[in-house]
Structure 1
Amino acid sequence: MSIPTKYQKIPGLIMAVGSAIFWGISGTCAQFLFEQKGFDPGWLVCWRMLLAGFILVLFSMSKKDPDTFRIWKKPMDVIKLLLFSILGMVAVQYTYFYSISLSNAATATVLQYTGPLFVVAFYAIKHRRWPIFVEYASLALALVGIFLLVTHGSFDTLVISEAALFWGFLSAVALAFYTIQPVGLLRTYSPATITGWGMLVGGIAFSPFTQPWEMQGIWDMEATLAFAYIILFGSVLAFYFFLKSVTIIGATTASLLCSVEPLAAAGVAVVWLGIYFGPMDWLGTLFILLTVVLLTLGTKNKEPKPA
């Protein structure tokens, strides 16, 4: 296989940045639905997984992907898929959306971006090795960034609630599990199959707790457009664009470009919803994004971020 030239890589670069922007804006759309249309985070997460998962499975079937149903023929793989669906898909999306409902899309997204540190910690324990220098530096930057984001530099007060901080960290831990757990499945089956079934099964499993058949919130044109954006752009297209970009520019570059996501969430939330995101917030965001850059460039065997 020939190595893509710099011009052939341009579509991959555009798709990687595009997927990050789609994800970031979808978080702001969720905040809009929670704050102004009275939607429940759990209900929205359930419908997001059901619809996006159904579309992705149909897409996989339309491509005649042999993995679409092959995964259901091996009991151990079914168990792994169920764990990924419930402890991965449901957990990472619910904790993230609930964190948004308690704070805002920008803060929740930045806090979730501390997830790679938990991935590093897991592999350090698993392989019984001390973290390398770049990992210590990333931890220090992340701690400073979190401190600035949640306190604005003051030791006396929090600018977000303790509950928002708690669920933000849970979102980061869930993201780490979501990244690590399906690695074995992804070596055997296509990412579209794993993510599609993961979302669909997770949505079905979550349904008894959220009762998606009972309509939520105020349904008008604005709510419908925001909801449709979360499903189509923030889930299906973002996932597809990211995976396609990985095949063109590689997982390292694609993952690094996804650092645009918190910036997109913050920028859109400030302009559209008028949230306050001051100098300390931006500085804290910068420190946390630097951890992503350091970990992406300074560690080996990096895995692509699932959508």
Structure 2
Amino acid sequence: MKFQPRIKGIILVIISAMLWGVSGTAAQFLFQKRGFSMEWLVDIRLLISGLILLLCTSAKGDQDMWRIWKSKHSCLSLIVFSIIGMVGVQYTYFAAIKYGNAATATILQYLSPVIITCYLIVRSKKNPSLQEIIAIILAMVGTFFIITKGNIHNISISKLALFWGITSAVMAAFYTLQPRSLLAKYGSAFVAGWGMFVGGIAFSFIHQPWNFTGEWSIDSVFAVIVVVLFGTLIAFYCYFESLKYIQPTEASILSSVEPLSAAFLSVLWLHVPFGLPEWLGTACIISTVIILSPRKNKKSKAEFEAI
């Protein structure tokens, strides 16, 4: 069955977002139902996905696999991206899932566009636009509903889940902004492949991949495959393949399916309580992505290159 290019792009980005959401819920299952080590899953995910992505990129023969290491500036930038960006965003996201659940972890991570916007406002020393002010207010309201269920005297998630969720959003903002020059020079698949693999090697000094704890079963094996392959490699491929057919702004908005899929699957599969306040908070935070995406798309190239 053939699709028009635009429809194909929309389908691809929705698939990628849904796979990311499913991956988070599978990770929650492994941590909370099968006793898997968070550190082990982070390391295995980075090493295997990074290696496969590099091999696939190399097989295409588009560029010298090692040329990124021949430039001192690119080399240092890649190491920073790998250790702080790639490991940072993976570890904090999984920690938020471990101490909370996949739904709230994914939703809190979606605060990253607001963090990026605030950073750019401070850096450019310009007053925020009306859209940016509305987005920031919505993000604050959404976070309030997520963590309190609408009751100002009650925090409905653990302090660790809240801390790691907000930290995950900060790491995601860094992960988005820091490697822009690398992405422009070497391409997304190449940079992400090296970032994952180098990050995995670096993290192996903290937790060795052969140091495993958890309960193996048919469903846990399947969940690991979902996290490592479907939720990382295939999701990444579908997302960047979609950019051949649709605009980055559209892809950013459509990727908001991720927290929705994580929330629905957490409720249906793992029976995570998710009431009206949480859904209102989810809607508020997703709205910030929709509001800020056109603004982010209009940022000048010079402004981003100065980051």
- TM category (shorter chain) comes to over 0.9
**How do 1:104-119 residues align onto structure 2 when only pairs under 5 Å count?**
104-119=101-116
Q: What is the TM-score of this pair, normalised by structure 2?
A: 0.95
How far off its partner does 1:98 sit? 0.3
Aligned to 2:161: 164
How far off its partner does 1:8 sit? 2.1
Q: 1:237 aligns with which of 227, 231, 234?
A: 234
Counterpart-to-counterpart distance in 1, 2:66 and 2:295: 38
Aligned to 1:217: 214
Counterpart-to-counterpart distance in 2, 1:110 and 1:68: 35
Counterpart-to-counterpart distance in 1, 2:175 and 2:72: 20
Q: 1:301 aligns with which of 296, 299, 302?
A: 299
Counterpart-to-counterpart distance in 2, 1:219 and 1:70: 40
Deviations 1:14-64 (A, max 9, x none): 000000000000000000000011011111111100000000000001111
For the 8 Å contact 2:58–2:64, the answer to whether it is kept is no
SS in 2 for 1:249: coil
Aligned to 2:304: none
Aligned to 1:148: 145
How far off its partner does 1:148 sit? 0.6
Question: Greater shift after overlay, 292-301 or 200-209?
Answer: 292-301
* Aligned amino acid, residue 218 of structure 2: M
How far off its partner does 1:7 sit? 2.7
Counterpart-to-counterpart distance in 2, 1:245 and 1:68: 24
How far off its partner does 1:128 sit? 1.7
Aligned to 2:272: 275
For the 8 Å contact 1:25–1:234, the answer to whether it is kept is yes
Counterpart-to-counterpart distance in 1, 2:283 and 2:74: 39
For the 8 Å contact 1:33–1:226, the answer to whether it is kept is yes
Percent identity for Structure 1 against Structure 2: 46
How far off its partner does 1:67 sit? 4.8
Q: What is the TM-score of this pair, normalised by structure 1?
A: 0.95
Q: Does 1:174 align with 2:174?
A: no
SS in 2 for 1:215: coil
Q: Does 1:90 align with 2:87?
A: yes
Aligned to 2:250: 253
Name segments (4+ residues, structure 1) moved above 4 Å: none
How far off its partner does 1:108 sit? 0.4
Aligned to 1:205: 202
Counterpart-to-counterpart distance in 1, 2:300 and 2:270: 35
Deviations 1:248-304 (A, max 9, x none): 10211111100000000001111111111111111110000000100013342399x
1:7–1:221 distance in 2 versus 1, CA, 3 Å: same
Counterpart-to-counterpart distance in 2, 1:115 and 1:41: 22
Corresponding pairs, count: 298
Q: Which sections of structure 1, spanning at least 5 residues, go unmatched?
A: 1-5
RMSD after superposition: 1.3
Counterpart-to-counterpart distance in 1, 2:295 and 2:197: 35
* Aligned amino acid, residue 281 of structure 1: E
Q: Which sections of structure 2, spanning at least 5 residues, go unmatched?
A: 302-307
Aligned to 2:305: none
Question: Greater shift after overlay, 21-30 or 61-70?
Answer: 61-70
For the 8 Å contact 1:251–1:302, the answer to whether it is kept is no
Q: 1:14 aligns with which of 4, 11, 14?
A: 11
Q: Does 1:34 align with 2:25?
A: no
* Aligned amino acid, residue 35 of structure 2: G
Deviations 1:51-86 (A, max 9, x none): 000000000011112152211110110000000001
Counterpart-to-counterpart distance in 2, 1:141 and 1:119: 15
Counterpart-to-counterpart distance in 2, 1:53 and 1:301: 30
Q: Does 1:127 align with 2:156?
A: no
For the 8 Å contact 1:252–1:302, the answer to whether it is kept is no
How far off its partner does 1:215 sit? 2.0
Aligned to 1:3: none
